[in-house]
Structure 1
């Protein structure tokens, strides 16, 4: 009897933790995938090579996933998915348009405006002209702050000013953007008072959604719009691992 209870409890935990119950309500299942750089070859976790990325896109098309912008997620679909790319690397501009068009997919790029203005380490970043020239059929621009500072390490006042600057620069550059934020490093304070203050700031700025990492599939519609999860797609993920992440998010044993 005890064995059955343990087995039942384990199965129930897996179902709830990985939100497998969403397979019974596919229109409420919303995986959001997180990418950064795209190159012909990959030597690090933040870079997906072209061959693997194409295999992943091909699989999404084969399985009839419907990729969406954040401005479209109120329209339910049985296999909705959102593809996101952070920071604004030039390689996104070089490689993504043809792949997205080939597999009829859409992507949201979260722009950190300081990176566009001043560069980031030794990486080549898009220009504002590049961003303006992205095909709006396949690309949506969204917010990634101006200075890309970890929200756990800065004041409430800094967060508000920095987000306003992010939004204002994009507006001044004639770039239409979604009122969706990807937290830099996927982080914000977990202390309840600071978290509520942050969420109040986001609401006052007109931001509709904000994304952490979390590595779980979302239930949507959600009552936690500022705590949406993204699934981190690593550079060396095999196609099998990619398929498992679409179901479970990230499994720690992989």
Structure 2
């Protein structure tokens, strides 16, 4: 039991030390934030309140974080950050354009084309025309599959065809997009042999990067372009918790 506790403490120290190192020496540091919905008030984890989001964007701007699209990741600057939103909710269109312009930030929206075609639960979603109308100075569109299913449980053939459909529909709608994939539910085949073959499928169809959750800050340039981590920003995160997540990602102690 004592040995187990020592190993846990040692592992925690290593994780904290590495994350602090990236914070102190930020040239190789890439933070990718993950959001979903925005509403005037938040009552659930996947919805951030307008007030909280503006506080967070204001902080990023004041602290001179450098916003990027995935297509710009060859740029080496300090305090690199990518802001992402999943699914294409209509409230993104209502609130994000003015906030991004106000604070000179950028956002990548991952689009599951099936949600745009057929809807998702009772949530209002953007239309393809609305997605197409987003200002490309502030918005980047990327891939979130077509069917939005857990890729860990699907065959490679299904995954390949589903991703191709995701791209084909965006092409047919004349919507420019980056070949970057956000795994639905953050899941993908992760056993060693399965993962290797899965990544070869992504490479075959031209995917440049893929993001999971992970809740860690990335070291960039990376040798793992299909396992970039995002930091999950919850609806009720305080500004203090947000600042800590920018440094550490998410640690169990907070």
Aligned partner of 2:203 in structure 1 is: 203
Alignment-derived partner of residue 190 in structure 2: 190
Q: CA deviation at 1:14?
A: 3.6
Counterpart-to-counterpart distance in 2, 1:10 and 1:124:
43
The CA deviation at 1:65 is: 0.3
Question: Residue 174 of structure 1 corresponds to which residue in structure 2?
Answer: 174
User: Following the alignment from structure 1 to structure 2, what is the Cα–Cα distance between the partners of residues 217 and 23?
Assistant: 9
Which residue is 1:118 aligned to? Answer: 118
8 Å contact 2:42–2:235 — kept in the other structure?
yes
Distance 1:202 1:222 in 2: 16
Q: Distance in 2 between matches of 1:76 and 1:133?
A: 29
Deviation at 1:42, TM superposition (A): 0.6
Partner of 2:218: 218
1:31 alignment partner in structure 2: 31
Is contact 2:116–2:125 with CA below 8 Å preserved after alignment? yes
For 2:160, the equivalent position in structure 1 comes to 160
| Shift in Å, 1:50 | 0.2
**Cα distance 1:152–1:14, how it changes in 2: closer, same or farther (>3 A)?**
closer
Q: CA 1:128/1:20 → structure 2, altered by over 3 Å: closer, same or farther?
A: same
Displacement of 1:11: 7.6
Q: How many residue pairs were aligned? A: 248
Q: Give the deviation of 1:22 after TM superposition.
A: 1.4
Runs of 4+ in 1 over 4 A off after TM superposition: 8-12
Instruction: Give TM-score, length-normalised by structure 1.
Output: 0.94
Q: Equivalents in 2 of 1:229, 1:48: separation in Å? A: 20
**1:121-151 CA distances to partner (integer Å, 9 max, x unpaired)?**
0000000000010000000000000000001
Q: Give the C-alpha shift of residue 12 in structure 1.
A: 4.6
Which residue of structure 2 aligns with residue 74 of structure 1? 74
CA deviations on 1:80-100 (whole Å, 9 max, x unpaired) are 100000000000011100000
- Per-residue deviation, 1:20: 2.1
Could you tell me how far apart the structure 1 residues matched to 2:63 and 2:169 are?
39
TM-score when scaled to structure 2? 0.94
Q: Distance in 1 between matches of 2:126 and 2:96?
A: 13
Instruction: Report the Cα distance in structure 1 between the residues aligned to 2:16 and 2:250, rounded to whole angstroms.
Output: 14
After superposition, where does 1:33-182 map in structure 2 within 5 Å?
A: 33-182=33-182
Q: What are structure 1's unaligned runs of at least 5 residues?
A: 1-5
Residues 16 and 248 of structure 2 are in contact (CA less than 8 Å); yes or no, is this contact kept in structure 1?
A: no
Q: Secondary structure at the match of 1:19?
A: helix
Is contact 2:41–2:48 with CA below 8 Å preserved after alignment? yes
